[in-house]
Structure 1
Amino acid sequence: MALNERITDWRGRRVWLVGASTGIGAALARALSARGARLALSARSREKLEALAVSCPGSMLLPLDVTVAGSLDQAHDALMAEWGGIDLVVLNAGTYRPLHVEELSPTAARETIELNLLGVMDGVSVVAPTLLEQGAGGVAIVGSVAGYAGLPKALVYGASKAALINFAESLYFDLAPRGVSVYLVSPGFVATPLTEQNDFHMPALMQPEQAADAIVAGLAQGRFEIHFPRRFTLWLKLLRLLPYRWFFPLVQRATGGGR
């Protein structure tokens, strides 16, 4: 049984994509535009949004920085004035910085947490009243399989994504009984400007277009968690179930400890 609304027809569906300028967000924007969705595109760079809009004709551009107080509210007000409602909000804005403990600092931690976690929470706080008033629509939160378990070089990034998993699960209890869907998107390795920082082999690496197709397929099935590629994510889910005396050596062997 589907846990959320099955989205199979995108024609005229009003979708606000936050974090749309590159990578998964840009690929998803193009995929939904091709299927007839009405798009509002948000990211920090207006220039990148304008470039993306060439392949997403008719899109509404709402540049913003989720870490700046009030920016999400202003964009939401502009969107509501134009559309009068929202069918799906995709919260995809995020950052990634590989960190070992020697590089950990309050500044590095706060930059990642503010964007990856607090930016998503702020986004939900802005759109939830609208969705609840409608009694319909949905929120898609883009996390990462790095949130499944502690991994080398992911001191802050992994923690922020683990928090998003918990947040999405808790949010489902609040919104789903009131007609609002909650989708958790958990990608594996996807070739984006952020993953270009990695200096190690990334198993089952996907292109952004493949990730976008996987998200569209998961939404069509009404899944709560849309994780991909499954040959990689299912292995990680199994690994997380192992006792720590097995978990740590296996991850160490597979990654070299990230050094």
Structure 2
Amino acid sequence: MTTLITGATSGIGESLAKLYADNNEQVIACGRNTEKLAKLSQHQNIESCQFDATDLQDIRSSTVAYTQFDRVILNAGNCEYIDDARNFDSSLFERVITTNLLSMGYCLEALLPKIKPGGQLVIVSSSVTYLPLPRSQAYGASKAGVSYLANSLAVDLKDIDVTLVHPGFVKTPLTDKNDFPMPMAVSAEKAANYIYKGVAKRRKEVHFPHRFTFILKFLRMLPTPLWLKLAKGLSR
């Protein structure tokens, strides 16, 4: 089995690459960090592939030698917050949308035809899509687009199984920058285990940690005015 993973140089992607490799799968670890990729490729089951996921031609040229994958996991992404919605930062918004959403389209164009019939496409979104949250205009919009993209692909792809991943808070170098509490946060290794098990069962959605995501799913059933009142309190 061959699994290609984007965003494999840190966080969830790195933990997934190591987990699949430790389970005797051939892993193509993708990212931009040459030092991290070189370190990952020391594992006997990991081959590194460097490209910028926001550059279609770079993805194409870097993966031209690969003809077929059993599984593609699109995990690369970034998170930035809009601290002052009244003075909206369109440059930040564009940057996040490009990194998190447009890059998915580029990867799909270059890699989707190479997934063999009966293979799997795994798309990592976020549980932020369940509810509108403070400062999340850019990140939340990008991940909402990612989730819709995955769900619509699941309708149209007849010979490939699509799994959509909605993680809660995960302790990674990216979330280390967060200046707010992260309830029920899990390690990147534990997140990778949740995903690994869910993908093995070909689940349509993998969300975790369950206690946290079930709370969010419950809260989204509240009347919108009530949730807005609660959310405004969180943003103070």
Is residue 2:151 matched to residue 1:164?
no
Higher strand fraction (1 or 2)? 2
Question: How well do the aligned residues superpose, as a CA RMSD in angstroms?
Answer: 1.4
Q: Quick one: distance in 2 between partners of 1:204 and 1:45?
A: 29
Is residue 2:96 matched to residue 1:112?
yes
- Report the TM-score, using the length of structure 2 for normalisation: 0.95
Describe the superposition over 1:130-163 as per-residue Cα deviations: whole angstroms up to 9, x where unpaired. Answer: 33xx322111111000122210011100000011
Is residue 2:180 matched to residue 1:197?
no
* Structure 1 stretches of 4+ moved >6 Å: none
Q: Which amino acid aligns with 1:181?
A: D
- Report what 1:122 is aligned to: 106
C-alpha deviation, 1:49, in angstroms: 1.0
Q: Quick one: distance in 2 between partners of 1:74 and 1:127?
A: 11
- Report what 2:11 is aligned to: 23
Partner-residue secondary structure (3-state), 1:62? strand
CA contact (8 A) 2:8 2:76 kept: yes
CA contact (8 A) 2:30 2:37 kept: yes
C-alpha deviation, 1:52, in angstroms: 2.3
| Aligned counterpart for 2:33 among listed residues 27, 34, 45 | 45
| Aligned counterpart for 2:124 among listed residues 138, 142, 145 | 142
C-alpha deviation, 1:209, in angstroms: 0.4
Partner-residue secondary structure (3-state), 1:204? coil
Percent identity reads 35
C-alpha deviation, 1:93, in angstroms: 0.6
C-alpha deviation, 1:96, in angstroms: 0.3
| Aligned counterpart for 1:214 among listed residues 175, 194, 211 | 194
C-alpha deviation, 1:79, in angstroms: 2.2
Q: Quick one: distance in 2 between partners of 1:145 and 1:128?
A: 24
How many residues get paired?
Answer: 235
Q: Which runs of 5+ in 2 are unaligned?
A: none
C-alpha deviation, 1:166, in angstroms: 0.7
